[in-house]
């Protein structure tokens, strides 16, 4: 039977190339406890770049994942909607 560490290395990293929020959250907690980025990366089987990115996102955005910018053009109102909004 695979341990969680082996499972996460095989499944999350190679197949999905995705790191779950829980792992990123653990990285932040371990960082606050005083562990270095290489130690955290080894413990959680993620790259030091992923640890650094999660930490930077947490410091800049207040979350471990950055917010998404709205894409596409701004919605245009028809003449009736403009009249209603101006009231």
pLDDT digits (tens, 9 = 90+) for 30-52: 999 999 999 999 999 888 999 99
First-to-last alpha carbon distance for the chain, in angstroms, is 67
Of 33, 45, 39, 48, the residue nearest 4 (C-alpha): 45
Single out the residue of 59, 30, 7 nearest to residue 38, CA to CA. 30
Q: Which domains occur in the chain, in start order? A: 4-66 (1.10.10.10)
Residue bearing the bigger pLDDT, 28 or 12: 28
Candidates 4, 2, 46; CA nearest to 25 is: 46
Residue 74, judged by CB atoms within 10 A of its CB (0-12, 13-18, 19+), counts as: exposed
Q: pTM for this structure? A: 0.60
């Amino acid at each position: 039977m695979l341990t969680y560490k082996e499972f996460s290395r095989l499944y999350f990293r190679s197949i999905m190339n995705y790191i779950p929020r829980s792992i990123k959250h653990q990285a932040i907690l371990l960082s606050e406890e005083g562990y270095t980025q290489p130690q955290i990366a080894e413990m959680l089987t993620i790259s030091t770049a992923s640890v650094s990115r999660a930490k930077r996102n947490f410091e800049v955005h207040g979350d471990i994942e950055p917010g998404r910018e709205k894409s596409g053009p701004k919605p245009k109102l028809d003449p009736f909607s403009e009249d209603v909004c101006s009231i």
